[in-house]
Every structure is written in structure tokens, then in C-alpha cells.
A = this chain, B = another copy of it.
Amino acid sequence: MSKKVITISREFGIGGRTIAKMVAERLGYAFYDKALVERIAKESGYSEEFIERRGEDATSTSSFLFNLSRSGGGNYEGVSGVSDKLFVIQYNLIKNLPDEGPCVIVGRCSDYILKDCQDALHVFIYADTKFKADRIVRLYGERNDSPEKRLEEKDKKRKVYYKNYTGRIWGMSSNYDICLNSGKIGIENCADIIVKLAMI
């Protein structure tokens, strides 16, 4: 298989960033999570904090796919709204990342943007609510009173964002090459499986 590009889509709180970082380090691949935010910020002129907040959970209901199609996918013509403009920048950046060398990309519809890339392995990572709630309280210092609500809100936004910009259902297995429940399988084991598949 020998995959030079690995996209890792993930629910909130399941250890996705940790797994992606482990995979990138073990394979010696570039790691695009925060680094992607920095590049989108530089390209767009918006702050990194703004990109973090708006880059993956816009709740726009505009017919963006139509706009993207009309604009040819690479420029701003016919595209209105901050979120849509950010998506075009993000789309073009991610589309060209494989040309820069092997890499691991976290989220941001990268599975969809690179769906035709022959060298890509597309991964989705998820977990049960209990595992996620325990983890965000323990690691992120989330308020202990309603972590489930916070998880639901965060994932709902990602789901809407993904649907809006790809037309696909977030978490549907057919969008990815492998889907892993990190709560059941374990974070280390998820990284092992992805590294092994990348090298086959």
C-alpha cells in the first residue's frame, strides 16, 4: 500500500491529535494540525485563534458545494461569507500538501479534499461517550458537571460543517479506509494499526 498521506478525522476528545502525532513521528512524516492553522492564518490574514474557532465548526447553511463548483474550487468568485472563504483557502492548501512530501493531516475535511489521492490512507477515529467524557475532564480540565453536553455540541458542529462542505455524512464508514474506536481498541493500538497500514 505504502501511503504517503494520512488523513485523520476524529470526534472531539478521543485522542485523535495524540494518535496523529504518534503516527507522524513514527513514520517521520510532516504533521499538519496546528501547522495547518498557522498556514491558513498566514494566507487569510485572520488570527490563528479565529481560524481555530471558525475553521472546523462553521454552522453556515449556504449552498457552499454549489458555490465551490461554480468557482472552480480554487478562487473566491461567487463565494461569500468568512467561513466559505476560509474553506477555499483550506481546500487549496490541503489539496497541494501531498506535493510537499509525506504528511499526516488532522481533520478539516482532508479525507474529502484528498479523496482522489492514490497515496492516501483515510482514517476516522471515534469512541463511546463515557470514554470521551472521562478523558476530557481528566486531560483538558473540562467542567465536570456536563462533559457529555460539551462533547455533543462540539461534535454536532463538526458534523454540520462536514455535511455543509462535503455533502457527506460524518462518521459514515464508506468515507474512510479504516475507522477505529479508540476507547475500545486503545490509543497506542490505533497508532500501531495506522503505522502498519501506511507501510504495507
Contacts and interface: CB of A to CB of B under 8 A. Distances in A.
A46 to B, nearest CB: 32
Give the most central of A171, A173, A180, A197: most B CB within 10 Å.
A173
Contacts of A174: 126, 171
A173 B126 contact: yes
A14 to B, nearest CB: 11
Contacts of A177: 181, 184-185
Interface in A146-200: 169, 171-174, 176-181, 184-186, 189, 193, 197, 200
Contact of A179 (B1, B169, B176, B186): B176
Contacts of A179: 124, 173, 176, 178-179
Interface residues of A, number: 22
A80 to B, nearest CB: 33
A174 B128 CA distance: 8
Contacts of A193: 193
Given A126-B174, A178-B178, A178-B181, 18 more contacts: A1-B184, A1-B185, A1-B186, A126-B173, A171-B174, A172-B172, A173-B176, A173-B179, A173-B181, A176-B179, A176-B181, A177-B184, A177-B185, A178-B180, A179-B179, A189-B197, A189-B200, A193-B193
